[in-house]
Amino acid sequence: MKQTHLRILTMEPLIRCLLLLAVLTLPAGVHAADSIGAVKAVVVYAYGSPPGASRKPIYLNDDVYAQEVVETIRQGALHLLFRDDTDLRLGSATTITLDKFVYNPETNAGELVASMSRGVFRFISGKIQKQGVSLRTPTSHIGIRGTDFTVAVAEDGATQVAVSEGSVVVTPINGGAAAAVTAGQGATVGAAGNSVEVSQATAAASDPGLADPDVNTSVDDAGGGGGGGGGH
């Protein structure tokens, strides 16, 4: 009995050292967190603020995490690819919080929630079941049905949506009926967030940072260099 007790006491320092080593080798601010996707392109500079960590530049192939805030500077862009192949592209002076991402690759079930506070983005849906996707702006909620669309959010929160493929459902946050918006249509939710106006043949946002990388020649595959002055 004494020998067993002695062996346990002898191993305790080793166990403590191993646990400490495991904690120290995790990235700062994202302890035990799993990556939800990665950076696929950067134009000029982009920044990320993972949960519990400070704002820092992010570069090509960097991981992104749930609850991370990602942002671009003026004339900048950032392309993210989630683990289900959802493609999220931020244009100039855009800020988005990656609220939640849960995905089962065997069934494609899951949940993707993101909140856009300003700027313009393009969303190209991946493999995750569409009913699990919820995109938010200051004045609207957007549900998708297999889609390629852009969203622009003004300083006052007014939101414009333009659908290139598939369809979305736009719901104003302060009451009013939801509206289905199909390919070739657009929708506007005013700053009051109490109604949706659907129109025909609304052009998608012209921000060059939303284009495909092989078309957008300004994409910097080196990841934007060493930081930047912000440029907001």
- pLDDT, residue 128, reads 97
Give the span between the Cα atoms of 47 and 62, in whole angstroms: 11
- Looking at domain 33-205, its CATH class is mainly beta
Residue 66 structure tokens: 């749930």
- pLDDT, residue 218, reads 41
Residue 232 structure tokens: 């907001």
pLDDT band (50, 70, 90) for residue 158: very high
At residue 212, what is the residue type?
Answer: D
- pLDDT, residue 202, reads 63
pLDDT at 176 over 70: yes
pLDDT at 229 over 80: no
Per-domain residue ranges of the chain: 33-205
C-alpha angle 57/59/62, rounded to 5°?
Answer: 105
Give the span between the Cα atoms of 42 and 220, in whole angstroms: 6
End-to-end CA distance of the chain: 68
Average pLDDT over residues 37-55: 95
The answer to whether 63 and 88 have CB atoms below 8 angstroms apart is no
Average pLDDT over residues 84-88: 97
Tallying the residues shown for the chain, one arrives at 232
pLDDT band (50, 70, 90) for residue 16: low
pLDDT at 172 over 60: yes
Average pLDDT over residues 176-198: 95
Q: Which helix (H) or strand (E) holds 165?
A: strand 159-165
Among 100, 145, 138, which Cα is nearest to 123's? 145
Buried b (16+ CB within 10 A) or exposed e, 21-57: eeeeeeeeebeebeebbbbbbbbbbbbbbbeeeeeeb
- Name which residue leads in pLDDT, 220 or 167: 167
The answer to whether 84 and 105 have CB atoms below 8 angstroms apart is yes
Among 211, 232, 205, 226, which Cα is nearest to 75's? 232
Among 185, 161, 156, 184, which Cα is nearest to 171's? 161
pLDDT above 70: percentage of residues in the chain: 75
Average pLDDT over residues 159-177: 95
* pLDDT tens figures, 88-115: 999 999 999 999 999 999 999 999 999 9
Residue 23 C-beta-side C-alpha neighbours within 13 Å: 6
Average pLDDT over residues 171-188: 95
pLDDT at 221 over 70: no
Give the span between the Cα atoms of 166 and 146, in whole angstroms: 5
pLDDT at 70 over 60: yes
